[in-house]
């Protein structure tokens, strides 16, 4: 029975991880974009991936839900940042306004508590998702312990 639970947890963890990879990738692409055009395209792709995964509502937290872990608010923030990128494209590329605006957008992205991993854990059945994440970390800690022990 424990083996079935363990295998289920591992399978779900891999599934959840593969589901959030595109979302994380587009977030990182938008954050590290060199210019406003690339950032706008990456934010648009991020919004599309979030919509495809249902990350337009719900929370990253299971118990203590607040505006900091609200996925709908993050979705709205990313939409407004994409609009801001489209406005910034009108500035000359080397200007101080252009550079400062891109930095402001990155700071706004930092202020979101964007965490798609916990969102996937919550949408997979709440407590089951959290138990899966907890067991996932326990498995890795045990694996690293035995690796260090026999190294």
HSE-up of 34 (CA within 13 Å, CB side)?
Answer: 1
Give residue 53's pLDDT.
84
Give residue 20's pLDDT.
82
Q: Roughly what angle, to the nearest 10 degrees, separates helices 2-31 and 116-123?
A: 140
- Per-residue pLDDT reduced to its tens digit, 127-141: 566 666 677 778 888
121 pLDDT band, cuts 50/70/90, is low
67 pLDDT band, cuts 50/70/90, is confident
- Per-residue pLDDT reduced to its tens digit, 85-98: 999 999 998 899 99
| 85-88, Cβ contacts within 8 angstroms, sequence gap of 24 or more | 85/36, 85/37, 85/39, 85/40, 85/43, 86/36, 86/40, 88/36
125 pLDDT band, cuts 50/70/90, is low
CA distances in angstroms from 21 to 44, 60, 95, 116, listed in the order given: 16, 16, 34, 9
Q: Of 24-38, 62-76, 119-133, which range is least confident?
A: 119-133
Region 32-36 average pLDDT: 92
Region 34-63 average pLDDT: 88
Give residue 115's pLDDT.
78
Using CA atoms, how far apart are residues 65 and 126, in angstroms rounded to an integer?
Answer: 13
């Amino acid at each position: 029975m424990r083996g079935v639970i363990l295998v289920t947890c591992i399978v779900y963890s891999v599934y959840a991880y593969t589901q959030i990879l595109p979302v994380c990738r587009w977030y990182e692409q938008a954050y590290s974009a060199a210019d406003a055009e690339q950032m706008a395209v990456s934010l648009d792709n991020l919004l599309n991936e979030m919509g495809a995964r249902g990350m337009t509502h719900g929370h990253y937290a299971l118990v203590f839900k607040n505006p900091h872990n609200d996925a709908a608010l993050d979705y709205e923030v990313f939409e407004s940042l994409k609009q801001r990128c489209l406005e910034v494209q009108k500035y000359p590329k080397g200007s101080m306004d252009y550079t400062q605006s891109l930095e402001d957008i990155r700071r706004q992205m930092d202020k979101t508590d964007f965490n798609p991993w916990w969102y996937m854990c919550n949408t997979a059945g709440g407590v089951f998702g959290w138990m899966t994440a907890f067991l996932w970390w326990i498995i890795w800690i045990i694996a690293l312990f035995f690796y260090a022990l026999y190294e």
